[in-house]
Amino acid sequence: MALVGMIMKMKRTELINLLLPLNEKLYQMAYCLIPDDLQAEQLVIDGVNAFLLKEAKWVAQFTDGEVDPKKAAGLRRQLLKKILRFQFEIGQKRSFQLIEQYRTDIPSAFKKFYDLDVRVRAVMTLRFDFLFQTEEIEDICQMPRFEVIEKLHNGRFMLSKDLNTKNISQESHA
């Protein structure tokens, strides 16, 4: 029991416990940037590694002192946003290089989404899938507010333009 208690108090284990439940979301975002299983997996790992290296001061709280369990949910959300920032930074460059390679394998239901610019895809995913606020997206994508709003507007327009055509054609058939 004493050993279990000691292990529970280990700081890096606490960081891992915060980190692992984020895998689903990190992978989802990575796949929206690069539509390939292996590339998405690698992007998750690279995003976390970049975060651990570049945010060493923030990460130091897991080696320097006790982490208040009441703050775990808040810390996990901060952790997600910080990692997403690095993942987006790396993923957008990689997507420019790789997207053409995977374009033929994209399921037809998602072709329209992957026809969007990688930055528009990121903003759309963060807003409509992760439900982040505009200010949070500004921070994650390191974009000024007007650019986030512009990309949301463009993405919505490009994805929903068929909806209006569909409605009109349904109405005219009725």
Partner 1 sequence: MSEAFSYFNKNVTAFIDGSLDTNAEGEFEAFLRTHPEYLPEIEAKQAELNYIKSFIPKVELDKDIREAIASELKQSVFLLVRPKHATILQKAKMKIEEWVNS
The residue ranges that bind partner 1 (CB under 8 A) are: 6-7, 10, 12-13, 15-16, 19-20, 23-24, 27-28, 31-32, 35, 37, 40-41, 44-45, 48-49, 52-53, 59-60, 62-64, 107, 109-110, 112-113, 124-125, 127-129, 131-133, 155-156, 159-160, 163
Query: Is the Cβ of residue 6 or residue 174 nearer to partner 1 in the bound state?
Result: 6
Q: In the complex, what is the shortest distance from the CB of residue 167 to partner 1, in angstroms, rounded to a whole number?
A: 9
Contact 132, 113 (CB under 8 A): no
Can you read off the two tokens belonging to residue 45? 């790992």
Q: Residue with structure tokens 């990689």? A: 94
Quote the CA–CA distance of 26 and 164 in Å, as a whole number: 33
Q: In the complex, what is the shortest distance from the CB of residue 131 to partner 1, in angstroms, rounded to a whole number?
A: 5
Query: Is the Cβ of residue 35 or residue 91 nearer to partner 1 in the bound state?
Result: 35
Give the angle subtended at the CA of 127 by the CAs of 121 and 130, to the nearest 5°: 100
The closest alpha carbon to 91, from 28, 158, 24, belongs to 28
Contact 110, 118 (CB under 8 A): no
Q: In the complex, what is the shortest distance from the CB of residue 18 to partner 1, in angstroms, rounded to a whole number?
A: 10
Q: In the complex, what is the shortest distance from the CB of residue 12 to partner 1, in angstroms, rounded to a whole number?
A: 5
